[in-house]
Structure 1
Amino acid sequence: MRMRAGEGVGEFKDRRSAERYGAAYQRALAELWPGPRTAVDLPTSHGTTRVYRVGPTAEEGEAAEAVGGPIVLLPGSGGNALMWHRYVDRLARRHEVIAVDTLGEPGASVQRAPIADGLAGAGWLEELLGALEVTGAHLVGCSYGGWLALHHQLRHPGPRVASLTLVDPAGLGPIGFRFYAWLIGGGLAALAPQALRPGLARLVGNSAILEGELMRLMRASMGYRRALPMATTLTDEQLATLRTPTLVLLGARSALHDAPAVAARLARLVPAVTVELVPGAGHALPPDRPELVLDRILTMAARGPAGRRS
């Protein structure tokens, strides 16, 4: 892990913090993702982005059974490609999977220039998809990653992306005190003894704290200074311009927003969007409902045209 310096740029506070996180990251990668993968570092104007590629390419599929377009996975705030560890192998059976360490989050990417707002975030993602040379991709974003994916499609629609699957995305409604209380409760529960965590996970509504290796990685990231913009709420005018086929999964009990109100807003504004409220689920949908989220990603990926690398 290299140190970074610069105003408005995510960085570790000192070399010791960076080295501690680097060791935890490599351990988590080996533990959670033992299968084959190709790590690629891609330059953009905001820094170098690490992605992991797994599964058949479109060209390989032409010689065997047909393959759908590539699936590009964007994590939530504070996370990286490893948050998708339980999904990758099954998605990669019929698709190339590209899991991203978002620039400016703790991970293996190296930020060198600020990302000031959603416009800049969309620009970074467009550069990344261009460097990956994909078309017809199925873009999957969780929480903050969903906000970035929305901004990208509002500003850079076109053949690069065939569909969106947004997993309890940010930016669709105001974020209130309840979400910050949920974050604090989950953080404190993650520090509790292992035997107490299942009960605490149910109490706070966050099964992510049961992911032991990811929780160790999260604790190691405490020395990272994140400098990405807040996920501000998209306006009605912005959302009404969305034309990309989109599935939005909302935890019915999500602390991020008023899920029924968000669903009603999307139904009123965006004909291209299908909304599914997941009963009993909160904001941590990927660990809460992995089978459902996996099924919905694959369903959306099957609808769009097969992607081809340029």
Structure 2
Amino acid sequence: MSEFRNAQAAARFQAAYDHALAALWPGPRTAIDVLGPYGTTRVHRTGTGTESGRPIVLLAASGGNSLMWHHHLGQLAEHHPVFALDPIGEPGASTQTAPIAGGADAAAWLDGVLAELGLTDAHLVGCSYGGWVALQHQLHHPGRVGSLTLLDPAGFNGFGFRFYAWLIAGGLAASAPRALRPRLARAVGNSAVLEEELMRLSRAAMGFRRALPVPPVLTDEELRRIDLPALFLLGARSALHDSAEVAARLERVLPSARVEIVPDAGHSLPMDAPDLVTERILAPSRT
């Protein structure tokens, strides 16, 4: 199971998390702890009442939590109730008590959280690993959510050398002198390195042992079972996969889906193109 190495590592991360939450979260929020068979999931709720708009549920990327959405929360919350999750098994305010061994477990965890929150017909947004979890949820528990926005989702390619090199290059760029970081961020294709609070939080998370399944490549049969409105946003410079190949496959296998390749954006889409991502999330949420 995922956990911190020791109490000191947990305390160090908690201090960084609390600092980032105070610095980044726009406006009021309510923290909700949802107890389930895999542990306790922290959910941050913000935005208007459920009668004002379709609920939006946000799933973070690998190694992330609800704070990665801070650029988008203000606009999303103007007309929608927003539920940003700290995923079980990732460094955040959630606590894991049982292993998540595969896609079925990840889907069951998410479905339990949505059920406890009383959410149906929500618009589910997932980034990278969170996108894979969103797809697994639809495969194993269809009918709970009403639409999907998937930001450069995992599950279309293995994690190869290029992806790990991108991660390492981003870590090195984030450690460089502040004046050099914008140029390095452009060079490595990762705007996340400019997010000082998130990078501080990421460094504090080095004391966290992540133990979640590696996403297998989705089969054509699985993709054909995605039977709801879905938007796939792919970074043109993604280090995870060849976005043109992914787009061509989706257009062939899942023609009902909308697919968009975002120019000059990489795998960290929420930071590379925040305004466009917010606009695309809001579009299906209005229906």
Do both proteins adopt the same fold according to a TM-score greater than 0.5, normalized to the shorter chain? yes
For the pair 1:267 / 2:251, whether they are aligned, the reply is yes
Written as runs of structure 1 = structure 2, the 5 A alignment for 1:137-216 is 137-158=122-143, 160-216=144-200
* Equivalent residue for 1:123, pick from 108, 128, 135: 108
Superposed CA deviations along residues 258-295 of structure 1, whole A, max 9, x for unmatched, are 10000011111113311001112111111110110000
Structure 2's unaligned 5+ residue stretches are none
For the pair 1:21 / 2:13, whether they are aligned, the reply is yes
* Equivalent residue for 1:70, pick from 55, 58, 74: 55
* Equivalent residue for 2:42, pick from 36, 50, 63: 50
Q: Tell whether the 8 Å contact from 1:168 to 1:285 is kept in structure 2 after alignment.
A: yes
Superposed CA deviations along residues 139-198 of structure 1, whole A, max 9, x for unmatched, are 00000000000000011111x211000001100233321111101100111111211111
- 1:99 counterpart residue number: 84
For the pair 1:246 / 2:230, whether they are aligned, the reply is yes
Partner SS for 2:92: coil
- 1:257 counterpart residue number: 241
Identity in percent: 62
For the pair 1:232 / 2:224, whether they are aligned, the reply is no
Q: Tell whether the 8 Å contact from 1:163 to 1:245 is kept in structure 2 after alignment.
A: yes
The one-letter amino acid paired with 1:18 is: A
What number of residue pairs does the alignment pair up?
A: 287
The CA distance in 2 between the partners of 1:68 and 1:292, in whole Å, is: 20
Cα RMSD for the two superposed structures: 0.9
The CA distance in 2 between the partners of 1:208 and 1:105, in whole Å, is: 18
The one-letter amino acid paired with 2:14 is: G
Q: Tell whether the 8 Å contact from 2:235 to 2:264 is kept in structure 1 after alignment.
A: yes
* Equivalent residue for 1:280, pick from 249, 264, 267: 264
Q: Tell whether the 8 Å contact from 1:252 to 1:278 is kept in structure 2 after alignment.
A: yes
Partner SS for 1:114: coil
Superposed CA deviations along residues 224-243 of structure 1, whole A, max 9, x for unmatched, are 00001112211111111110
Q: Tell whether the 8 Å contact from 1:242 to 1:272 is kept in structure 2 after alignment.
A: no
Runs (4+) of structure 1 moved beyond 3 Å?
none
The one-letter amino acid paired with 2:244 is: P
The CA distance in 2 between the partners of 1:174 and 1:261, in whole Å, is: 14
- 1:220 counterpart residue number: 204
TM-score, normalization: structure 2? 0.98
Partner SS for 1:40: strand
